Structure 1
Amino acid sequence: YESDDETLTIWNSTQAPHRVKGYLCEALKVPEDKMRVVAPDVGGSFGMKDCIYPEDVLVPYLSMKLERPIKWLESRQENTLSYHGRGQSLAIEMAVKNDGAILGMRVQVVADVGAYFLLTTPSPIFNTVRRINGPYVIPAVSVELAAAVTNKTPTGAFRGTGGPESAFCLERTLDLVAKDLGMDPADVRKKNFIPPEAFPYQTITGPTYDSGEYSNGLDRALELADYKGWREKAAQRGPNEPAIGIGLATVLKSSGSSGSHRIENAQVKIDRDGQITIFTGISPHGQGNETSFAQMTADELGVEPSQVRVVHGDTSLFPNGVGTSASRGLIVGGSALYGVLQEAREKLASLASQVMGCSTGDVSFGEGRVFDSNKPDEGMTIAQLTASARERELLPGDDTGLDFTGSFTLPRPAYSFAAHVVVVEVSRETGHVNFLNYAGVHDSGRIVNPMIVEGQIHGGIAQGIGQALTEGMAYNDDGQPLTASLMDYAVPRAERIPDLQMENIDTPSPTNPLGSKGVGSVSTVPTPVAVTNAVLDALSSAGVRHIDTPLTPEKIWRALQG
């Protein structure tokens, strides 16, 4: 806090610096032009840093009162005790025909929201009941939601935010339906998929799905996994051998959120030397948006990505933004940038047509140059073009350069699709689970950077495996946590993550000019239930129909003992 000019600068490990600024300006009664919020390298978040916590208000308040810098650091144990994800119990009744067609379902959700509400506490439970339909035609749905206030740690948004909870309930039930009807679990899903010609499709609980080819995605996942081959191998296993189980999950994940989260801003500046600077209101913290945005800019303006600088996470450098959450980085933030880049390209093409004496339709961009497509050997850099335009008084002669600003509003969320097939081996003596195969197909619309998408999908699967097999908060009767550190809370190690066979299909979304859908959380949604379905398929011959996650070896062993 600078008392001389009454300015306050806050460094906050947040996903949304502009929203933090808005909340703090209101809480601390500080004018917007007197506050700056900077999001440094944030590290992991997955929804946790999309909240406002007491310390976010207290630390700048103390700085103002004491007129000196204040720094607060949270230990890992304090972090573990401050916020949790998931925490829902679901009960479901489903009516189906003998051929597997779903007639309707009744769902009861009890959500443990902890001792008090956080900013994102309502988000996952709201999403769970809205997205309970999954990728299926379900004519009738009844959902009852109860939020229970307990003496435990509050819950809030965590990667997938209600998606894994609703998918777990629905996909687990479909496997039980298949077993009771004597059908293949894949056939039950295909029987109920929303057909491609039905889009846009409004579900009975409200959401409207944009596009998809769900059967194609599942068929490819089954092929990748050698589904039929593993079914034959599982049937050949003897009673004294480890049991093989195959699990499926086909799910949707909304991206883009609602309300003001559907809006994002972008700015493109080109200085006299041809350096291109991108300003964005999103605040990436590991998603790779800097790379994707530089790549998009390079493609549209014909330059190298190294000529593009991407700026984010500082409210003094770019005043408007919503941040990074709800898998909105590319489909909302990227779409805002794409629109501004089109404006910049049109302006540069107009200048080039006048400087080069050709039509704007003949102007091309590539290999660091702007050129007449009829004379590809002749051309100039963007810096040379703007300098020539100034000499001809087509641009002002000052040092301001070119500046383009715009925003984008997502009309409605885009829905990504995923189909996972998991094969496991379960020891009848110890309850230990070993992965034999893991295949998945994802539809995230048009992809800008395949390597970034691959990394996001792998990370989401790792988190989902943890939820299925090892991770869980345990409490004593007084509400005291028993898993308050990584000594007790079992995050999966790299050695527990199987080799992954992944492919992508491309069903463009009509909701945005890029045709993209979110990828940040889509693989987290099917993984817990696909793994659980595989384990319980292996245990089905012993009459085991359900085990609460995490599926630890002890739980599995006890279930096998009856």
Structure 2
Amino acid sequence: MDIGENTSARKDAWLGRSLLRVEDMRLVRGGGQYVDDLLPEGCLFLEFVRSPYPCGQIVALDVEAARRAEGVVAVLTADDLGDLGASAINLVLADMGARPLRPLAKGVVEATGQAVAAIIATSLSAARDAAQSVFLDVEPSEGGSSAAEAEIYAHHHTDGDVDAAFEQAAHIVTVSVEHALVAPTALEPRATLAEWSRNTLTVWASTQTPFRVREDLARILDLPLAQVRVVAPDVGGAFGGKSSIYPEDVVVAWAARHLKAPVKWCATRGEELLAATQGRGARSEGELALSADGVLLGLRARLAFQLGHWMPYSAAIPGRNASRILPGPYRVQAMDIDLKGYRANRAAVGIYRGAGRPEAAMLLERLMDAAAKRLKIDPLELRRRNVIDANSFPYTTPTGQTLDSGDYGQLLDRMRSHAGYEALLAQRDERRAAGEVVGLGLALYIEPCGQGWESADVNFCRNGMFQVLTGASAQGQGRETAFAQIAADMLQVSPDRIAVRQGDTDDLSGGIGALASRGTAIGGSAVVRACEMLRGQLTEIAAGLFQCDPEILLFTREGISAGVVGAASISWNALADHVAGEAPGPALKPLLTGSVVYHAEGEAWSSGCCLAFVSIDPRTGAPTFEKLSWVDDAGRVVNPMLVRGQLVGGMAQGLGEALMERIVYDDDGQLLTGSLMDYAVPRAIDIPAVDIAKLETVSPANALGAKGVGEAGCIGVPAATFNAVSDAVAPFGPHKLQMPLTSETIWRALQQEWAQTNPRQRKNGSLT
């Protein structure tokens, strides 16, 4: 069955219901407020001058003509900014180097698109016109854009006797994987507005992490934290590309402070493709050792991740995640993992939806399919023989990770019945015999869903309503709806009595934001604990009013009662009047507050199984999904409709990486995919129908029992897709397919193998 209502929940529960998103009515009617919608009085506009060179010494930077241009208020170079503090980088690996951002290039340029100057003018057109008059001369570095490639981090992990495992193996299979660089491509490009007023810097930013932006700006600009406020208004998508501070944010904030005027910058789509962080770009090689009956004995993996010319906060997270996730949902007796990260003269590479999880899954699942083919064992059966048993949780992996809960065998069993696996295999073989090019692919995956803490306040307000303040920010996930459901369930009131606020650093003392599918699991758990605290306060007050045992009190949608028919009760509005007394105040003035900084007990691990059945047109190489099935385990589900939306959205991006998306630089370091005319993203017509079933193993790692869901589509679907295409091409002989699997890539693989194996049956230069 498709993801639906949680029928096991109590009848009056709000958790598990597919409530419509409360955000949507405002957003679809044009009521959203994004950074570019903000235009304070006297606002100035900023435009960057960017290097057309990938690397080299700055010989000349002449901005005098720009300074004299009409409407220009200021022109900034690195010399004007002076000495600034360093942006934070999460040094998650021992002995790793760090390359903080440089707001403007000084002395040298290190990537095409790096900003070398900033023009600030009274209108955007004036700033852009003046930017055209800036003269930049760069002496290219010897060796071009590849000259500066250098190792930034390295990590090695060994568990068990790997050499012995491979020596005793009956079979060894090897695969290599190349992940193209991809662009996050949020609907709303990055944007920043800053204003200095009353000795306070206020920054409105399109960001996933307003608290992190505040801390970085305070450090870089040498300001007390109390003098910096960051607001993330409506944010039109992020996908990891807005998880860190950027050089542009620093320049905008610096300019606003020094000019004592509001300054705004909004990126164009071209600037996003050129200078925003990119994702993926990893290369990996794996070797899998197996016994004669298909038991996994050993795994060797070599992982190399690109980093670009500067490092955002989470630059090392994709590599670390990929290495720590291995060997995924499988038991392996011994393993050896070598991880490296290296910089080059290109845009920064950071986290992108999945952040290392897709890289681990792709390597493992391609190895599993290669092993199944070598041993002539059904791919689902081979996986079933090697998964971690459900009775083993919590399970400690060879890399020291604790998997909280799951049932990977049941995921495979559910997929077998849900998709009609045996019937699909029979159909594939029958159609192949008739000359069609068809294939079936599986992928089993696990997904770590964030660690650490999150903050939440839940207020009982003057108007008898409740307000949730959360440090977990929103970029389209439906946070207002889901968190209202959580609070309503805890307080046993209607969700329309709950207002949710996020994205303003003035609301709470600290927060983390939206990262790593942690929002519901950790942020939602913070709301649970804050509601428990507030409920205790409300219970104490009501028990005093009714002169009764607190244990008999009932919370209802209307108020609190003493628990029996005809007993004393008080409405929420009346209770607010009682608590406030004679004191007036605004409607949302907090009267009582449950305030927590919630620390998760561990890390929740989602899991799932994907199946893809594809047919390929041999004349064009175009793949068509004839079936796409999915069984996902996201722990306790708050809103099934929102979960499905997250799964399908992640699937669209996963298919983008698998089939079409790729950032391309030429040999001189010039970006060839600088617009959406050149960089392909999936359209609605490219997204196939998908049937999704759920498994629900509750997580013991957090108060809500939830696991992450936002990145799952980027993890399992690409691997299943690749395995399906690989299976379809397999009858034509060995192949070396790599992503993206464009129709041309597939067509060339078919043509090459067909020409080698059937030279006399090839007609008119194409398969027939």
The normalised TM-score by structure 2 is 0.70
1:11 paired residue number = 204
SS in 2 for 1:477: coil
Task: Tell me which residue corresponds to 1:129.
Answer: 323
Residue in structure 2 matched with residue 293 of structure 1 by the alignment: 483
Identify which of 236, 242, 248 aligns with 1:55. Answer: 248
In the alignment, which residue of structure 1 is the partner of 2:233? 40
Deviation, 1:446, is 0.5
Match of 1:490 among 654, 677, 680: 680
- Judged with a 3 Å threshold, the aligned counterparts in structure 2 of structure 1 residues 362 and 214 are, in CA distance, closer, same or farther, namely same
Write 1 or 2 for the structure with the bigger share of helix: 1
Question: Is 2:729 the partner of 1:539?
Answer: yes
Q: Is the 8 A contact 1:254 1:414 kept in 2?
A: yes
Tell me if structure 2 keeps the 8 A contact 1:256–1:412.
no
Moved more, 39-48 or 364-373: 364-373
- The worse-fitting range, judged by mean Cα deviation, of 427-436 and 357-366 is 357-366
Equivalent residue for 1:182, pick from 376, 392, 395: 376
- 1:464 is displaced (CA, Å) by 0.7
**1:474 match:** 664
- Aligned partner of 2:742 among 552, 556, 560: 552
Residue identity in the other structure for 2:253: P
CA distance in 2, matches of 1:229, 1:5: 70
- Rounded to whole Å, the distance in 2 between the matches of 1:2 and 1:187 is 61
Query: Which residue of 508, 516, 520 maps to 1:318?
Result: 508
- Cα distance between partner residues in 2 of 1:35 and 1:444: 37
SS of the residue corresponding to residue 10 of structure 1 reads: strand
Larger Rg: 2
1:360 & 1:217 partners in 2: Cα distance?
A: 44
Quote how far apart the aligned CAs of 1:152 are: 2.7
1:243 and 2:433 are equivalent in the alignment: no
Q: Is the 8 A contact 2:432 2:438 kept in 1?
A: no
Aligned counterparts of 1:545 and 1:505: Cα–Cα separation in 2: 36
Q: CA deviation at 1:56?
A: 1.2
Matched with 1:31 is 224
| Aligned counterpart in structure 1 of residue 273 of structure 2, from 50, 56, 80 | 80
Shift in CA distance, 362/491, structure 1 to aligned 2, threshold 3 Å: same
Q: What SS is found at the alignment partner of 1:267?
A: strand
Alpha-carbon deviations, 1:259-310, whole Å to 9, x = none?
Answer: xxx1111111112320211111111111111111111112222322222111
2: distance between equivalents of 1:2 and 1:73?
A: 15
CA drift of 1:54 comes to 0.8
**Residue 497 of structure 2: aligned partner:** 307
Give the structure 2 partner of residue 94 of structure 1. 288
**SS state at 1:152 partner:** coil
1:112 aligns with 2:320: no
Distance of 2:201 and 2:403 partners within structure 1? 43
Question: Of 231, 238, 263, which aligns to 2:453?
Answer: 263
Following superposition of structure 1 onto structure 2, how do residues 434-473 of structure 1 map, counting pairs within 5 Å?
434-473=624-663
Contact residue 302 and residue 369 of structure 1 kept, 8 A: no
- Note if 1:529 corresponds to 2:719: yes
Structure 2 equivalent of residue 69 of structure 1 = 262
Unaligned runs of 5+ in 2: 1-193, 753-768
**Which residue of structure 1 aligns with residue 179 of structure 2?**
none
Contact 1:256 1:410 in 2 (8 A): no
Contact 1:266 1:405 in 2 (8 A): yes
TM-aligned CA deviation for residue 460 of structure 1? 0.7
Matched with 2:361 is 167
From the superposition, tell whether residues 16 and 3 of structure 1 become closer, same or farther in structure 2 (CA, over 3 Å). closer
Q: Name the aligned partner's letter for residue 257 of structure 2.
A: M
* Deviation string, structure 1 residues 45-99 (Cα, Å, up to 9, x no partner): 1111011111111111111111111111111111011221000011111101111
Q: Give the distance between the partners of 1:418 and 1:377, measured in 2 at CA.
A: 49
C-alpha distance in 2 between matches for 1:239 and 1:452: 42
1:561 is paired with a residue whose SS is: helix
Matched residue, 2:609: 419
Change in 2 beyond 3 A, CA 1:390/1:434: closer
Distance 1:471 1:377, change over 3 A: farther
Is the alpha carbon distance of 1:370 and 1:545 closer, same or farther for their aligned partners in structure 2, counting shifts above 3 Å?
farther
Contact preservation (8 Å) 2:464, 2:575: no
Alpha-carbon distance change, 333 to 184 in structure 1, aligned in 2, over 3 angstroms:
same
- Are residues 429 and 29 of structure 1, via their aligned partners in 2, closer, same or farther at CA, if it must alter by over 3 Å? same
Q: Which amino acid aligns with 1:490?
A: A
Which deviates more from structure 2 when the two are superposed, residues 408-417 or residues 144-153? 144-153
For residues 432 and 288 of structure 2, what CA distance do their matches in structure 1 show? 33
Task: Tell me whether 1:281 sits opposite 2:471 in the alignment.
Answer: yes
What does the per-residue CA deviation read over 1:21-61, in whole Å, with 9 as the maximum and x for residues that have no partner? 11111111112222111111111111110111111111111
The answer as to whether partners of 1:468 and 1:528 remain within 8 angstroms in 2 is yes
Q: Percent identity?
A: 39
CA contact (8 A) 1:101 1:191 kept: yes
| Distance change (3 Å), C-alpha of 1:87 and 1:506 | same
Q: Does 1:192 align with 2:382?
A: no
> In 2 relative to 1, CA 236–376 (structure 1 residues): closer, same or farther, beyond 3 Å?
farther
How far apart are residue 386 of structure 1 and its match? Answer: 4.2
CA RMSD of aligned residues (A): 1.8
Change (3 A) 1:406 1:125: same
Structure 1 gaps of 5+ residues are none
In the TM superposition, what whole-angstrom CA distance separates every residue of 1:501-556 from its partner, at most 9, and x where no partner exists?
00111101111111111111122111111100001111111113430001111111
Residues 401-420 of structure 1 mapped to structure 2, 5 A cutoff: 401-420=591-610
Equivalent pairs counted in the alignment come to: 554
Structure 1 residues 2 and 173: alpha-carbon distance in aligned structure 2, compared to 1, 3 A threshold: closer
| Native 8 Å contact 1:300 1:365 kept in 2 | no
- Which stretch shifts more, 531-540 or 267-276? 267-276
Residue 118 of structure 1 and its aligned partner are, at CA, apart by 2.5
Q: 1:147-158 counterparts in 2 under 5 A?
A: 147-158=341-352
Give the residue type in structure 2 aligned to 1:212. Answer: G
1:411 shift after superposition: 2.4
Paired amino acid for 1:447: V
Q: CA deviation at 1:238?
A: 4.3
- Give matches, 1:350-369, under 5 Å: 350-369=540-559
**2:344 & 2:593 partners in 1: Cα distance?**
53
Q: CA deviation at 1:179?
A: 0.4
Q: CA deviation at 1:240?
A: 6.0
Q: Do 2:525 and 2:704's aligned partners in 1 also have CA atoms closer than 8 Å?
A: yes
Q: Structure 1 residues 273, 238: closer, same or farther in 2, change over 3 A?
A: closer
For 1:290, the aligned partner's letter is E
Aligned mates of 1:521, 1:4 — CA distance in 2: 39
Shift of 1:105: 0.9
Given residue 613 of structure 2, which amino acid in structure 1 is its aligned partner? V
CA contact (8 A) 2:652 2:713 kept: no
1:129-159 superposed Cα distances (whole Å, 9 cap, x missing partner)? 1112111111211111222322332211000
Q: How does 1:133-148 map to 2 (within 5 A)?
A: 133-148=327-342
1:481 Cα deviation after fit:
1.9
Question: For residues 136 and 546 of structure 1, what CA distance do their matches in structure 2 show?
Answer: 25
Report the Cα distance in structure 2 between the residues aligned to 1:108 and 1:14, rounded to whole angstroms: 33
TM-score by length of 1: 0.95
Q: For each residue in 1:104-138, what CA deviation from the matched residue of structure 2 results, as whole angstroms up to 9, or x when unmatched?
A: 11111122222332322211011111112111111
- Provide the C-alpha distance between the structure 1 equivalents of 2:678 and 2:671, rounded to a whole number of angstroms: 10
Pair 1:517 & 2:710 matched: no
The code of the aligned residue for 2:679 comes to: Y
Q: CA deviation at 1:316?
A: 1.8
Q: CA deviation at 1:368?
A: 2.4
Contact 2:195/2:203, CA 8 A, preserved across alignment: no
